[in-house]
């Protein structure tokens, strides 16, 4: 578990770059931006991909969370809601606000992860809470470092480092 914590703690001091969504996966990028030829674009070195319950708080208020990803904007009816489209969910609206108010202004101050993979990432004014809530071996969330290509994957009851260390 110490190896896992040490790897993920490399986020400490990194600047919050962007919050985004791809279908039902939420991504948060941190740190220096670099060009990576394997993905063909400039992106941040560190990223978290979340596919489980989470919430983002500021000033003790929930800014957004897991359910917002699946909640249509007020002007979109349930029949017209398509998670494959962007700018259709409450999460999409809140993401714009969070990125405008906090991106590049916030740095990671602390990270704690328990033995089940639940995490609290504390920034200057934001708090990101991730809750592993599945009992099966489906991926809940992952930390990835695009520079070293190390991924720490949190499943229902397992945590794995890819590729395995030494």
The pLDDT of residue 37: 67
Identify the residue with better confidence: 6 or 152: 152
The closest alpha carbon to 65, from 54, 51, 74, belongs to 54
Please, which residues bridge with residue 161 across strands?
152
Q: Is the dihedral of CA 144, 23, 89, 130 positive or negative?
A: negative
Global pTM reads 0.92
pLDDT tier for residue 39 given thresholds of 50, 70 and 90? low
Read off the pLDDT of residues 56-103 as tens digits, 9 standing for 90 and up. 999 999 999 999 999 998 878 777 888 888 889 999 999 999 999 999
The closest alpha carbon to 151, from 163, 133, 138, 139, belongs to 163
Per-residue pLDDT, averaged over 149-163, amounts to 92
């Amino acid at each position: 578990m110490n190896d896992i914590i040490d790897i993920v703690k490399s986020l400490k001091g990194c600047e919050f770059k962007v919050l985004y969504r791809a279908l039902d996966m939420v991504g948060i990028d941190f740190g220096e931006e670099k060009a990576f030829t394997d993905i063909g674009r400039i992106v941040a070195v560190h990223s978290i991909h979340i596919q489980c319950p989470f919430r983002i708080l500021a000033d003790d208020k929930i800014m957004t969370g897991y359910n917002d990803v699946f909640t249509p904007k007020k002007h979109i009816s349930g029949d017209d809601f398509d998670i494959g489209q962007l700018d259709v969910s409450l999460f999409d609206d809140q993401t714009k606000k969070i990125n405008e108010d906090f991106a590049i202004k916030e740095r990671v101050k602390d990270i704690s992860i328990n033995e089940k993979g639940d995490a609290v990432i504390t920034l200057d004014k934001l708090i990101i809470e991730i809750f592993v809530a599945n009992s099966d071996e489906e991926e809940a969330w992952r930390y990835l470092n695009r520079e070293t290509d190390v991924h720490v994957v949190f499943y229902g009851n397992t945590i794995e480092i890819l590729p395995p260390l030494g």
